[in-house]
Amino acid sequence: MGSPSGPPFDPDDPDRERRERDTEPIPRFRPDDGPGYGSGPGLSDGPSLSDDIGYGDGPGYAGEGRSGRTWARDPEAGYQQTTISEEELAGLRVDASGMPMGPRRVLPLEDEPSSLVARYLFPTERYRGEWKRHWIHLSTPIVVGVAATFILGYLSGFLAGQDVGALTTVAVLLWFAVMGWVAWRVADWWYDRFILTNKRVMVVNGIITRRVAMMPLVRVTDMKYEQTPTGRALNYGTFVLESAGQEQALREIKNLPNPNELYLRVVEEMYEPQAVEARLGKEADEAKADDGA
């Protein structure tokens, strides 16, 4: 009788060999049985999974990568990338308009005050910077001087042709008076300084009569700066300082240059004085190291 699980045995059946071959059990291979699973290049000693730069000692997983970062090799956890700090990622974040979202950094501080400012600083305070007002502060004197030059020059020529020497002299003297006033305003602009230290803000101005106004930083309760469309185009603004709702000598300072930079410096000095000292100390150490090198 044939097998109960299949058809009777027939030695002349043409499909008998194919059925026997298909029903043979698949042998289990050991690592050392054949080239496909043993010593071949695919899974064992070949360059694809062991010594190749992609999976072995190459820069991607074991050594140092192109960016300079290293990868830690852990037998249990596999390959792990080193953690990137928030400070390193801060400069990569941008807003919808593409502007960086990281913290703005202020420019380096000046080392020494000018001779005009140094006389008003006491020994224990730290100098942070001084600024002249924006050149737009001279717009009115410049316009007056240019207009006076053209008008009085034309008038002088016209009066000279009319043979009225006295009026010509008056026109020339008037032009000198206008230009003297313009020179005075330029000199007054040159001696007008806004000063920042670690303890106060000051405004020093005046040529003959010198005026010094100051406000301690600890008394500043509110600070803002305003920029008109022209101010935004030419990079100047007006600062307004409030001190507990009281009137003070130093409240509104007009036509200061680089208002955003100046705002950051004053606010940083008000709220993070230790950070300013640490940054300045670090810069000083780096400068000494560079000089020593």
pLDDT band at 281 (very low <50, low <70, confident <90, very high): confident
Say which residue, 147 or 102, is predicted with more confidence.
Answer: 147
Coil vs helix vs strand at 224 = strand
Per residue in 146-188, pLDDT tens? 999 999 888 888 887 777 768 888 888 999 999 999 999 999 9
pLDDT band at 13 (very low <50, low <70, confident <90, very high): low
Coil vs helix vs strand at 168 = helix
Measuring CA to CA, which residue among 132, 94, 130 is closest to residue 113?
130
Torsion angle in degrees (nearest 10) through CA of 92, 94, 100, 103: -70
Q: Is the confidence at residue 144, as pLDDT, over 70?
A: yes
Domain-by-domain residue ranges, the chain? Answer: 107-133+194-292, 134-191
Contacts of 108 (CB under 8 A, 6+ apart): 283
Q: Could you tell me if 214 and 192 are in contact, meaning their C-beta atoms sit under 8 angstroms apart?
A: no
Lowest mean pLDDT across 31-40, 119-128, 189-198: 31-40
CA distances from 284 to 178, 253, 265 (A): 49, 32, 18
CATH 2.30.29: does it fit domain 107-133+194-292? yes
Q: What is the mean pLDDT of residues 266-281?
A: 84
DSSP 52-77: STTTSSSTTTTSB-TTS-BEEEETTT
Say which residue, 12 or 139, is predicted with more confidence.
Answer: 139
N- to C-terminal Cα separation, the chain: 101
Instruction: Tell me the pLDDT of the chain averaged across its residues.
Output: 75
